[in-house]
Amino acid sequence: MEDPADAVEALWARPGDAPDLGAFLADHPNWSPSELRAALLIDQHFRSRTSLPWSTEEYLALVPTLEADDDLTLDLIFSEVRGRSREGNAPNLEELAGRFPHLQERMGRQLEIASWFEDASGSDLQPVDEDSGRESDAAATRFGDYELHEEIARGGMCVIYRARHRNLKRIVALKMIRPERLTRAADLQRFKNETRIIAQLNHPNIISILHVDQVDGIHFFTMHMVEGRDLESLRTAYLDDVRLAARLVSSVAAAIHYAHQHGVLHRDLKPSNVLISDSGVPFVVDFGLASRLSEPRGLKPSDEFCGTPAYAAPELLQEHSHPASVAADVYGLGAILYVLITGQPPFAGSNAFEVWNKIRESQPQLPRSLNTRVDSDLEAICMKALEKNPASRYASAAVFAKDLDRYLAGNPVAARPIGWWQRGARWLRNHPVGPALALTAVILLAVIAVQSVSLHEQVKHTDAARQEAESYRRALETAKENVEHFQPDAAANQSPSEKPSEQR
């Protein structure tokens, strides 16, 4: 599965002249209209920064089948306007109307609204104190009953402002669609979907909606203003206190379970979608990709990747996969926990396609190898939530939260770390040795495994059993070292015909 935007971005990463987009598109005759749209827009993003940017008409001429797509045309026009504005050669509405007369009204409204955003985001504003007696801030931009102050967040589809209700003098977070996306029906539908979903949720760790309305056709809603930072900006803040990270994620998991109970899947869980207030309370935000459990076909599959690909569950990256389930959100929770206790996402790469391949085909590094403060129980919890197979993860966000709570209370956890005897068995599978040594190793591993299972049951009950377990562990560790000593020797003594072929 090749992502068009990533493929075009890779073309621009190559040294040399600007790529031949026409030839590239000819090599992909089976791309759908949405894939062609993505390719054109990402190429325009890069080409507009060269000395020879293309006009909107030149892009449409490459794909004649898309010339009637007014939404695409408006996206290209808007990007062209921004590119030419950077060069001090911004086109005016009269020029654009002459080129695209059938879009004059829509272009005029879009450019007018865009100017509001540019003025508001470019001004040097200070937050308005809720107790302030001022009726208005002259630097703010008026938007219906609200004054827009500084921009506080921006995503692929929406922008969020700190705003003040002019009559109530209340500071809120006001979310609306970005100006260049106003004319796209699919985005408006997604925005309305998010509004309806959040409105039905009432949980202390989910930011609630205060007001829903529209101004001059621009749909928006307001939320309680949370003073704080998102977990993406705090990804290394918990490396020395992994228990606090576990406690935060447990609270987030409880909120997600509440959403599941109300038939809502978040589908875009990642550190930037969790805010931590100045008092340390986590809040789940951005339900823009959320869907209802009863309506699995609500959004296009491509919408799964509007967020950060590194946090998408493996099953969401498969073609013809089943609709997302609660297991996908459990994976997202595990990915957030992984970031907080290691300082990095489970998978990373130079582009989304590389990340997707790693998610599907490889395992993340064990957290303890990245942070020595992570113990085996917390690592086991995290890795269970990140299992490739959805059925192998926690059955629900609530079960995940309960295991974190058991960990925090110092009780045995439901997740089981992969024991060294299991690692040894995997080593034997991948590195065959002679029959006699293999049999000896298997017997030793079996004996140790049986003892360990018995040991684990004893650990659950009394302190005395734990003390006895410690002596067993020391004996078992000695046996482990013996096994590990003769495995390399056995491999070295094999005849050439017995040596295994190199593993991929």
Secondary element (H or E) of residue 435: helix 435-459
- Is 307 found in the same domain as 185? no
Q: Residue 133 has which token pair? A: 């007696």
- Is 261 found in the same domain as 388? yes
Rounded CA gap, 231 and 228, in Å? 10
Residue 100 lies in a domain: no
* Owner of token pair 């659950």: 460
Q: What is the pLDDT along the chain (504 residues), one digit of tens a residue?
A: 567 877 888 888 888 889 999 999 999 888 888 888 888 988 988 888 888 899 999 999 999 988 888 878 887 887 788 788 778 888 888 888 899 998 887 777 666 656 655 544 433 333 334 444 444 454 578 888 999 988 888 776 788 999 999 888 899 999 998 766 665 667 777 888 888 888 889 999 999 889 998 876 678 999 999 999 999 999 999 999 999 999 999 999 999 999 999 999 998 899 999 999 999 999 999 888 888 876 654 334 444 445 567 888 888 776 655 677 899 999 999 999 999 999 999 998 877 778 888 888 889 999 999 999 999 999 999 999 999 999 999 999 999 999 999 999 999 999 975 555 555 554 554 455 556 565 666 666 666 656 655 655 554 555 555 655 666 566 566 656 655 555 555 455 554 444 444 443
- Is 356 found in the same domain as 294? yes
Cβ contacts of residue 228 below 8 Å, gap of 6+? 275, 276, 277, 278
- Is 282 found in the same domain as 401? yes
CA distances from 310 to 269, 285, 286 (A): 11, 18, 17
Rounded CA gap, 268 and 197, in Å? 14
Q: Tell me the residue range of the domain where 215 lies.
A: 113-224
Ramachandran region of residue 54, left (φ > 0), alpha (ψ -120 to 50) or beta? beta
Residue 103 lies in a domain: no
**Can you name the residues that pair with 275 across neighbouring β-strands?**
230, 283
The pLDDT value recorded for residue 333 is 97
The pLDDT value recorded for residue 406 is 95
Q: Residue 138 has which token pair? A: 């002259």
Kindly list the catalytic residues: 268
- Is 371 found in the same domain as 246? yes
Per-residue H/E/C for 255-315: HHHHHHHCCEECCCCCHHHEEEECCCCEEECCCCCCEECCCCCCCCHHHHHCCCHHHCCHH
Residue 503 lies in a domain: no
- Is 346 found in the same domain as 300? yes
**CATH classification at residue 170:** 3.30.200.20
Q: Residue 230 has which token pair? A: 């998102």
What value does the CA radius of gyration of the chain take, rounded to a whole number of Å? 28
- Is 264 found in the same domain as 202? no
Given 181, 203, 224, the domain boundary residue is 224
Given 408, 429, 460, the domain boundary residue is 408
- Is 493 found in the same domain as 383? no
The pLDDT value recorded for residue 157 is 79
The pLDDT value recorded for residue 346 is 94
What one-letter code names the amino acid at 62?
Answer: L
- The pTM (predicted TM-score) of the whole model is 0.61
- Is 217 found in the same domain as 140? yes
- Is 248 found in the same domain as 218? no
Given 196, 224, 252, the domain boundary residue is 224
The pLDDT value recorded for residue 22 is 93
- Is 242 found in the same domain as 203? no
The pLDDT value recorded for residue 407 is 96
- Report the domain count for the chain: 4
* Closest CA relative to residue 382, chosen from 413, 351, 358: 413
Residue 98 lies in a domain: no
Cβ contacts of residue 160 below 8 Å, gap of 6+? 151, 152, 153, 154, 173, 174, 175
Burial 447-461 (b: 16+ CB within 10 A, else e): ebbebbeebeeebee
Q: Are 250 and 404 in contact (CB under 8 A)?
A: yes
- Is 353 found in the same domain as 249? yes
Residue 132 lies in a domain: yes
Rounded CA gap, 240 and 299, in Å? 40
